Amino acid sequence: MRIAVLGTGYVGLSTGVCLSEVGHHVICIDVDQQKINRLRQGISPIYEPGLESLLLKNTAAGKLHFTTSHQEGLEKAEIIIIAVGTPQSNDGAADLSYLVQAAKDVSAHLKPDAIVVIKSTVPVGTNDYVRSIIANHTKKPFKMVSNPEFLRQGSAIKDTMKADRIIIGSEDNEAALKIQEMYRPLNVPVLMTNVKSAEMIKYASNAFLATKISFINEIANLCEAVGANIIDVANGMGKDKRIGEAFLQAGIGYGGSCFPKDVKALLHTAGQYGVDFSLLKETISINESQRQLLVKKALERFQQLKGKKFAMLGLSFKPDTDDMREAPSIVISRLLHQAGAEVIAYDPVATENAKKVIGNTIQYAESVEEAIKNADALLLVTEWEEFKKLDLAEVTKQMKQPIIFDGRNSLAEDKIRACSKIEYYPVGKPSIVIN
């Protein structure tokens, strides 16, 4: 099939690359000339494991192309997948301006009878809205399908190739079957539904997962208060198949380009329809306070933070990505800077992006060694594999004081206990102090 994808962000690029990998002819369109230039040279504009090799392979095989021209990209496409951003606007609603522009671009160059697929995360009713925009701008016939995306950053290729499910929402059976056919080589379970349910499935899934994280974070806070251990508690809960083991990792809150904005957008939709979804308000408020947890713990330990030097390990919102959107490191940096502390941060891949968001309120190191030198405390913010492998006995020797606040419970207890002198403060489980 001949497929055009609008937007070469995480979703558009992963989708385009994977659909070409399974044999389709894909052209990816982006308005960002720099991104397209890099992609044409076989360079991925985002850090995503496995993406670049598939990009090179399928470009070389002539199945994957990149352009900034909507005309070139759209004129032959039977299927047009819209994967542009839907960021948060000031009132919490999803900002649909990129989508509206994409709809206009599509209508200008649409091949008659093409199927327009909305993959971007959009509030209930948006597919109908986009349909009306396109219909107002062209007389050519077209069909629409809602096909929300569930990939995670850091495992986008694996999640696309081996998805748990594909949701196809359409009022047009023929169009729905054609999209099912497009995905057939992936051999993934497909759920057909109407458009509004498809739109809702995406928000309900993200809001549920975010709520699961806020729930386990509150349980972790309670575990600390009563002397229980969140690792054992989550493990014991997760063994119940009705609860499930995934997304029960307590820490310093959820971040990223999706959960924060999607929970707020769903809350906004609820408000528009007069539904008081107070559970979501709590999910958000618990997450906001959880992001401050390491600073609160540091304040408890040191009484005051002015002049203290903190080594911050990890900047991206999760490992295996260089994405800084809504990363807890942003809040932590701001609070420590306001308190007059010095922060020197290291991240394996996100430093350049972090500089654009956090700026010069903190310093950036090129290695763990540089960050920890003479630090009063280490804050583990993102659980990169590199940090789990650290020789903690050596790390603590390089620091001014051997104090570690582990925001992701990611350091192994035997390594901590092997240190001759350490203060280790995790989340939701007992601290370890060796004098």
Ligand X SMILES: O=c1ccn([C@@H]2O[C@H](COP(=O)(O)OP(=O)(O)O[C@H]3O[C@H](CO)[C@@H](O)[C@H](O)[C@H]3O)[C@@H](O)[C@H]2O)c(=O)[nH]1
Q: How far is the CB of 421 from ligand X (least distance, A)?
A: 30
Instruction: Provide, rounded to whole angstroms, the least separation between the CB of residue 157 and ligand NAD.
Output: 12
Q: Residue 123's binding partner, choosing from ligand NAD, ligand X, none, with beta-carbon cut-off 5 to 8 A by kind?
A: none
**Residue whose CB is less far from ligand X, 206 or 283:** 206
Q: What is the Cβ-side half-sphere exposure of residue 112, based on CA atoms within 13 angstroms?
A: 3
Question: Among ligand X, ligand NAD, none, what binds residue 31 when CB lies within 5 to 8 Å by partner kind?
Answer: ligand NAD
Contacting residues for 3 by C-beta, under 8 A, at least 6 apart: 16, 19, 24, 25, 26, 27, 77, 78, 79, 80, 81, 182
The catalytic position among 18, 28, 258, 419 is 258
Tokens of 47: 């850090």
CA–CA gap between residue 327 and residue 315 (Å, rounded): 7
Residues paired with 256 in a beta bridge: none
Member of 6, 106, 258, 330 binding ligand X (CB under 6 A): 258
Given 120, 249, 353, 396, the residue binding ligand NAD (CB under 6 A): 120
Query: Any known ligand binding at 401?
Result: no
The set of residues, in sequence order, having a beta carbon less than 8 Å from that of 100 and lying 6+ positions away, is 130, 133
Binding partner of residue 84 among ligand NAD, ligand X, none, CB cut-off 5 to 8 Å per kind: ligand NAD
Footprint (CB under 6 A) of ligand NAD, residues 262-301: none
Residue 317 lies near ligand X (rule: CB under 6 A):
yes
Burial of 188 (0-12, 13-18, 19+ CB in 10 A): middle
> Residue 182: left (phi > 0), alpha (psi -120 to 50), or beta?
alpha
**Is residue 256 a contact residue for ligand X (CB under 6 A)?**
yes
Q: Is 32 in the site for ligand NAD (CB under 6 A)?
A: yes
244 annotated as ligand-binding? no
426 touches ligand X (CB under 6 A):
no
Window 365-394: contact mask with ligand X (x via CB under 6 A) = ------------------------------
**Nearest partner of 28 among 50, 58, 49, judged by Cα:** 58
Cβ(44)–Cβ(9) under 8 Å? no
| Contact predicate 405/377, CB 8 Å | yes
Residue nearest to ligand NAD (CB): 9
419 catalytic residue (yes or no): no
- Non-local (6+) Cβ contacts of 90 within 8 A are none
277 is in an annotated binding site: no
Give residues 201-230 in contact with ligand X (rule: CB under 6 A). 206, 209, 213
Q: Which long-range contacts (CB under 8 A, 24 or more apart) does 391-400 make?
A: 391/415, 392/416, 392/418, 392/419, 392/422, 393/418, 393/419, 393/420, 395/368, 396/421, 396/422, 398/369, 398/372, 398/373, 398/374, 399/311, 399/372, 399/373, 399/374, 399/375, 400/309, 400/374, 400/375, 400/376
Q: Tell me, what amino acid is at 386?
A: E
If the CB atoms of residues 134 and 252 are measured against ligand X, the closer one turns out to be 252
Residues of span 99-158 touching ligand X by CB under 6 A: 121, 149-153
Number of H helices, E strands in the chain: 19, 15
* Contact string (CB under 6 A) for ligand NAD, positions 64-103, x = contact: -------------------xxxx-----------x--xx-
Determine, following the binding rule CB under 6 A, whether residue 47 of this chain makes contact with ligand X.
no
Summarize the annotated binding site for NAD(+) as residue ranges: 30, 35, 86, 121, 261, 325
Residues lying near ligand NAD in the complex (CB under 6 A) are found at 6-12, 29-32, 35, 83-86, 98, 101-102, 105, 120-121, 149, 151, 153, 257-258
- The residues annotated as belonging to the active site are 258
Residues lying near ligand X in the complex (CB under 6 A) are found at 121, 149-153, 206, 209, 213, 247-249, 251, 254-256, 258-259, 262, 317-318
Summarize the annotated binding site for substrate as residue ranges: 202, 247-251, 255, 318
